[in-house]
Amino acid sequence: MVKVNDEMIDFVLPDSNGNNVSISDFSDKTVIVYFYSKDNTSGCTCQALEYKKLYKEFTELNTVVIGISKDSIESHKKFISKNELPFILLSDVNKDVINKYDVFKEKNMYGKKVMGVLRSSFIIRDGKYIKVTYNTKSNLDAINNLDFLKNN
């Protein structure tokens, strides 16, 4: 499990255009990496739209927003287009990074236990985690992270 002050876990994943992206590409910025379960589901769309709504404020704070799910590049491309998302979505179809960040967990969905991506976010600055949130709420993740960055 990732904790505050841990060294950043670096990785390379494809974005919605098939270009490889690494967290270390943004070493001069603060980075929010958020994990979500699936494009075009209600909670995940809500979360993405909250980040979109606050995106200008994040950029003013020299912060890059990156969403990661196990969806395909093509799925991300459609999700970005449909919702006019201004930030990066990365595809982790093999769950390599999802597993490194320990966010693939047993969840309770409609009374059934299933394995899935636990909605989580990580704020990275200077190669270390400065905020770690497992099991965050879709409608509060972006604003909570923005408030944290404004005060830290």
Domain with 27, as residue range(s), is 12-146
- Give me Rg for the CA atoms of the chain: 14
Under the banding of pLDDT at 50, 70 and 90, the label for residue 27 is: very high
pLDDT value of residue 106: 82
Find the CATH number of the domain harbouring 122.
3.40.30.10
> Is residue 78 in some structural domain?
yes
pLDDT value of residue 63: 98
pLDDT in tens, 51-73: 999 999 999 999 999 999 999 99
Q: Would you call 46 a catalytic residue per the annotation?
A: no
In 3D space, the residue among 72, 110, 108 whose CA is nearest the CA of residue 89 turns out to be 72
Please say whether the beta carbons of 36 and 117 come within 8 A. yes
Please say whether the beta carbons of 127 and 8 come within 8 A. yes
Q: Find the angle CA(47)-CA(123)-CA(4) to the nearest 5 degrees.
A: 125
pLDDT value of residue 110: 75
d(CA 89, CA 82): 13
Please say whether the beta carbons of 117 and 103 come within 8 A. yes
pLDDT in tens, 107-149: 777 788 888 899 999 999 999 999 999 999 999 999 999 999 9
> Is residue 101 in some structural domain?
yes
> Is residue 5 in some structural domain?
no
Count of structural domains, the chain: 1
> Is residue 22 in some structural domain?
yes
Choose the catalytic residue: 21, 33, 44, 64: 44
